[in-house]
A and B are shown apart, each in its own frame.
Chain A
Amino acid sequence: MIRPHDSIIVQTLGRFLIPVVQIFGLYVLFFGQYGPGGGFVGGVILGTGMILSVLIFGHDASRSQIAKKILHGDGVGMLIYAGVGGLCMIGGGEFLNYANLEIPGLETASRRSLGIVLTQIGVAVDVAVTAVSIVFSLSAEEIIEDSING
């Protein structure tokens, strides 16, 4: 179990840094099509922001509740990714062939661009949840059981 850090410097800096880290993670996630970055890095940065709040404010702080909540979402990222593939099959093409996404008014290249965005969100969700989940597994056994059963 991780207790809150008692240094006021760490707490104040954490309060300032965590939102910046989260915004930067979202930026990296959605800017991955235009520059360096993408789903994997964006997901890791998002997860790291939540891990930072757990490390600074402890498991029980209200700031760490979101990290505790998203533990239930293990596998949602996989579902998003495979779901996009399934939608492509429903559209009449191969699995994960984004050109077959059934969205009216979009040409093929834009459909593929949209498919890339959607699958990147899937990867990011999966990576962020897994990072937070591994940190919780390593640090707090009792807390996990309580939050899942209770």
Chain B
Amino acid sequence: MIFSLQIPLLLLLLVTAAGAIMVKDLMSAVLLLGTYSFFLSVVWGWLGAVDVAFVEAVVGAGLATVLFLLTLFGTAPKDTRFRRPPPSLAVLIVFPLLGLLLLYAAKDLPEFGDPNSPASVHISPIYLEQSYQETHTPNVVTSVLMDYRSLDTMVETVVIFSAGIACALLLRRHSK
């Protein structure tokens, strides 16, 4: 039953993405981008990546939309329509070729969920088998993110922190 939903879901994803690019009004583009994130989070959930789906729904469809809207109101309050120049010839030639190249390369990717793919034979089995005994954390994603790869997560937190600091430094200095 779930498999019958795949094609409509991917079509909706394509339609909202193309709509966000094509639509004239910037406000509609922002809202379409939020819809796109929502459908993308459904696709993540369908692929079994529930944590990623959660982040996509909360950040992509929620927070990012608010930030885009605030930026829009702060920069173009009266007229949010946008006149887009027609794409140049180079774009029309290069991007379809790039797409064909990627499709050609995707042929060599392992099957979805293949237990013999390089990603699932290296260190993932060790995490899956031992993380509960070692950390008492049933969610393997959390134990990998916060324990085995804790230093990486700390640097990600530093990235978020510096993003906030950079926004404050750039945007808050016009007052007084």
Contact = CB atoms under 8 A, between A and B. Distances in A.
Interface in B125-176: 133-139, 141-143, 145-147, 150-151, 153-154, 157-158, 160-161, 163-165, 167-168, 170-172, 174-176
Classify the secondary structure of B's interface with A: helix
A106 to B, nearest CB: 10
Contacts of B172: 137, 141, 144-145
A6 B67 CA distance: 21
Chain A contact patch, size range: 35 or more
B151 A133 contact: no
B67 A109 contact: no
B70 interface: yes
Which of B70, B154, B164 gathers most chain A CB within 10 Å?
Answer: B164
Q: Which 10 A-B pairs have the closest CB atoms?
A: A130-B164, A36-B50, A113-B136, A137-B171, A141-B175, A112-B135, A138-B70, A96-B150, A116-B146, A137-B167
Given A33-B137, A48-B58, A112-B136, 19 more contacts: A28-B54, A35-B139, A37-B51, A38-B139, A38-B146, A41-B55, A44-B55, A47-B63, A48-B63, A51-B63, A51-B66, A74-B161, A112-B147, A113-B137, A115-B146, A116-B142, A126-B160, A141-B171, A145-B172
Interface of A: 28, 32-41, 44-45, 47-48, 51, 55, 74-75, 77-78, 81-82, 85, 95-96, 98, 108-110, 112-113, 115-116, 119-120, 122-123, 126-127, 129-131, 133-135, 137-139, 141-142, 144-145
